[in-house]
Amino acid sequence: MPEGDVLRRAAAHLDRALAGQRLVRADLRWPTAATVDLRGRTVLGTRPYGKHLLTRFDDGRTLHTHLRMDGTWRVVPSSDRRAAARAPQVRAVLAVERWTAVGYQLGMLDVVPTSAEPTLLGHLGPDVLDGDFDDTPGVPWAGPPVLDLPTPGIDEAVRRWHAQGGRPVGEVLLDQRVVAGLGTIFMAESLFARGWWPWARADAVDDAAAVLRAGRALLRASVATGRPDAAVYGREGRTCPRCGARVARDDIGVAPTQRQVYWCPGCQVRGRG
């Protein structure tokens, strides 16, 4: 499931294949971008932000893509038959002499001026993986920042968090307008790490920064070495590794956008009424 860690790995994969090279083929199979011609442009790099990817070119344009639930970018040798990208699920093809990047089942695609990136993504909160999110090591990325936040990212995220009032904390962590990059997996794991009940009031959480740092640490570990074994996510009915109770699964949020949440009734008791 694509969360901030997957986007970071995808961007690094695209950079290794394309950055600094001229496109010999570009095919955008998207209604609003089908006539855009990127051939001959040099790829400056791909910048992840939250769950978004920004592939920048030397002519001042950016290809913006979002994986949503099922999207993926795959890189294959340009000489490989897979580089033909004939599958109906293909939404974008970017090829240099040696490598071809194929975007499958992308959930969002548009081409915008690079200068418009802040307008495009300005509704998002701070990226929990950005290098300047707080004073712990982040995941550095070359190129200009996407959003120029006036304060350190974690301070802004905490401010937005507490502005949510009595909204359940699990919902708040999934709201990309509060903090970008967390999804259902790392929402559940972050709350478990700090012992918070997913339906606790956001404004009652006295260590919001610690919860965010827990999520950041888990995502960083995933970027570096792959996703670690989950403590609660996907473990309904199995034993909690901390207290031995049975992990539960429920829904959080309001239909039709509610999401699954996994939690331990035995030890996630902070904020529980």
Confirm whether 2 is a catalytic residue: yes
Which of 82, 77, 76, 50 lies closest to 64 in space, CA to CA?
50
DSSP string for 106-128: -SEEEEEEGGGHHHHHTTS--BT
Residues 7, 67 contacting (CB under 8 angstroms):
yes
Q: Is 47 helix (H, G, I), strand (E, B) or coil?
A: strand
Distance CA 168, CA 70 (A): 27
Confirm whether 3 is a catalytic residue: yes
Q: Report CA-CA distances (Å) from 34 to 93, 105, 142, 193.
A: 11, 15, 29, 45
Q: Residues with Cβ < 8 Å from 257, sequence gap 6 or more?
A: none
Distance CA 47, CA 30 (A): 21
Distance CA 126, CA 137 (A): 15
Please pick, among 8, 41, 51, 213, the residue that the annotation labels catalytic: 51
Tokens linked to 43: 């790829």
Residues 81, 67 contacting (CB under 8 angstroms):
no
Confirm whether 51 is a catalytic residue: yes
Tokens linked to 40: 């001959």
Residues pairing with 158 in the sheet: none
Confirm whether 171 is a catalytic residue: no
CB atoms within 10 A of CB 24: 14
Please pick, among 167, 242, 259, 270, the residue that the annotation labels catalytic: 259
The residues assigned a catalytic role are: 2-3, 51, 259
